[in-house]
Amino acid sequence: MTIMPRKETYIDHREDLSSGVMERTVLQGNAMLTELNGRLRKLTALLLEGRGLYAILDEMEAMLDNPVVVVREHDKAWLSRGLRDTEPTEIWPLLQSLTYRQLDRGAGEGYVPLTNSVRVYVKPIPEQKTKQSYLAAVEHKRELRPLDKLSIDRLASLVGMELANVEAVREVEDKYLDQFLHDWLTGKIVSEADWKLRAEVCGCLIPDGTALVAALIGLPEADGSADRLREACRLLRSERGRTAEGLLVAPVGEDLAAVLSIPQEKLAEGERESALFAALTELLDSLKEHLGEPELKLYAGRAAHRPDGLQGSWTQAKHARQVAEVCALPGEVIAYDKLGVYSLLYLIPSGEEREQFLNRYSLPLQLADRKGGGRLMETLEMFFRCNGNIKLTSERLFAHYNTIVYRLEKVQAILGVSLDDPEDRLQLHLALKLGQITPSSAPN
């Protein structure tokens, strides 16, 4: 016969077992909390010492035994030492997938799978007055433990504080750079010693043998607000938005200015102009991509070979924009040296001589058109565009060949000129171009 223990014995044993489990759980929780507090103290000390964001990320990598990344929209990614010290070719697929768009595509928090089968644990960084950022730990060496994920959740706030410091420092640096470029382009820096000192403080070191070109970035008219200019500058100055080596951008009044450095030492005299145009075209393509503005245009002055010549290049860039807009010049890159006769015509002020010239060669055709004379001005302009080819002119205007012949004969009869005479053709061509520039547009 088996003697069963009393019921109280089972209850006592179960209570002892539960008590033991609870004690071990409490001890484990206390140990985790102690380690978490230690991690927070280390990171807080780095923050108070002003060691910078990279020092904080490096310490987090040592804690988690995995690389750590901070990703922001339209900005470079901050990498901890494990990724910074690795050859880019070895981790290029990982770097390509560690983008704001890729991390934001997920739930925004927790694990996010990347395209290369690597998991990252993501935590949004709480920030004020700045764009959304993410703190991400890459499971590169081992899986993250619960303590590691809890640490990321808690340390994201500290990283946010350091990002706020970075943003504040960047804002001060940007304001100083804006003022320096504004003064440089507008000729307010009078001595070379002052220019060198301010350039060094701003980090704008221009090597010898480099030509400087001032360009005006032609944003669409609706996008020319002060906020839009500042946002464009911030984007182009960011690591991810840098489109050319040595490119400087700043708002100057209501315009967005760019200063481009063009190496000249290894170029022959005849190659410099083509190299400049190629650099401007490449810059424009990059600006369109990074600013998301497919209708951008670029207006450039001549290359300056001394810092004090940049003011003249900026004035020429603005002049190129004015002439291109008034005369409706084609093309996306308008260089001052390519304006040709338009630059001279634009400089002709309003006056009696100008009016007499237009009255002689342009006004009679305009009056005839108003009376139903048969689109004479349009026909003559297309005739010159087609290099005097009547057949091509008729095709471009969707008119019969004989109709074009009749209109051109009427032009000659009204003006008393001959389109076969080179001198008369020159006078008519100049009158058409000058007529595109209204008297109020020409400088006095």
User: Is residue 277 located within the same domain as residue 220?
Assistant: yes
User: Is residue 75 located within the same domain as residue 119?
Assistant: yes
Q: Is 142 helix (H, G, I), strand (E, B) or coil?
A: coil
pTM of the model: 0.66
Confidence of residue 10 (pLDDT cuts 50, 70, 90): very low
Q: Tell me, what CATH number does 239's domain have?
A: 3.30.70
User: Is residue 255 located within the same domain as residue 353?
Assistant: no
User: Is residue 105 located within the same domain as residue 156?
Assistant: yes
Domain span including residue 248: 206-337
Is 39 contained in some domain?
Answer: yes
User: Is residue 310 located within the same domain as residue 378?
Assistant: no
Is 190 contained in some domain?
Answer: no
User: Is residue 265 located within the same domain as residue 387?
Assistant: no
Domain end among 109, 132, 164: 164
Is 3 contained in some domain?
Answer: no
Q: For residue 38, what pLDDT is reported?
A: 83
202-249 pLDDT per residue, tens: 877 777 778 889 999 988 765 557 788 888 887 787 754 454 566 888
Q: What is the mean pLDDT of residues 307-325?
A: 89
Strands 68-72 and 210-218 come out as unpaired
Q: For residue 287, what pLDDT is reported?
A: 85
Q: What is the mean pLDDT of residues 365-386?
A: 89
Domain end among 164, 196, 223: 164
Q: For residue 241, what pLDDT is reported?
A: 45
Confidence of residue 438 (pLDDT cuts 50, 70, 90): low
Helix axes 226-237, 146-185, angle to 10 degrees: 120
Residue 118 has pLDDT above 90, yes or no: no
Distance CA 83, CA 92 (A): 10
> What's the Cα-to-Cα distance from 415 to each of 119, 368, 422, 425, rounded to whole Å?
79, 11, 15, 12
Q: What is the mean pLDDT of residues 412-429?
A: 92
Q: For residue 267, what pLDDT is reported?
A: 58
User: Is residue 50 located within the same domain as residue 151?
Assistant: yes
Distance CA 421, CA 418 (A): 5
55-80 pLDDT per residue, tens: 989 999 998 899 999 888 777 788 89
Is 42 contained in some domain?
Answer: yes
User: Is residue 94 located within the same domain as residue 119?
Assistant: yes
Confidence of residue 8 (pLDDT cuts 50, 70, 90): low
Q: Which of 107-116, 177-186, 204-213 has the lowest mean pLDDT?
A: 107-116
Residue 15 has pLDDT above 70, yes or no: no
Number of domains in the chain: 3
User: Is residue 330 located within the same domain as residue 265?
Assistant: yes
User: Is residue 149 located within the same domain as residue 245?
Assistant: no
Is 332 contained in some domain?
Answer: yes
First to last CA, the chain: 126
Is 172 contained in some domain?
Answer: no
Is 43 contained in some domain?
Answer: yes
Is 183 contained in some domain?
Answer: no
User: Is residue 297 located within the same domain as residue 364?
Assistant: no
120-135 pLDDT per residue, tens: 888 888 875 566 888 8
Residue 406 has pLDDT above 90, yes or no: yes
236-288 pLDDT per residue, tens: 877 544 545 668 888 998 889 999 888 766 556 667 777 788 888 888 888 88
Q: For residue 365, what pLDDT is reported?
A: 92
Q: Tell me, what CATH number does 362's domain have?
A: 1.10.10.2840
Q: Which amino acid is at 139?
A: E
Classify residue 370 as exposed, middle or buried by CB count within 10 Å of its CB (0-12, 13-18, 19+).
Answer: exposed
User: Is residue 214 located within the same domain as residue 317?
Assistant: yes
Q: For residue 2, what pLDDT is reported?
A: 52
Domain end among 337, 365, 389: 337
Q: Tell me, what CATH number does 128's domain have?
A: 3.30.450.40
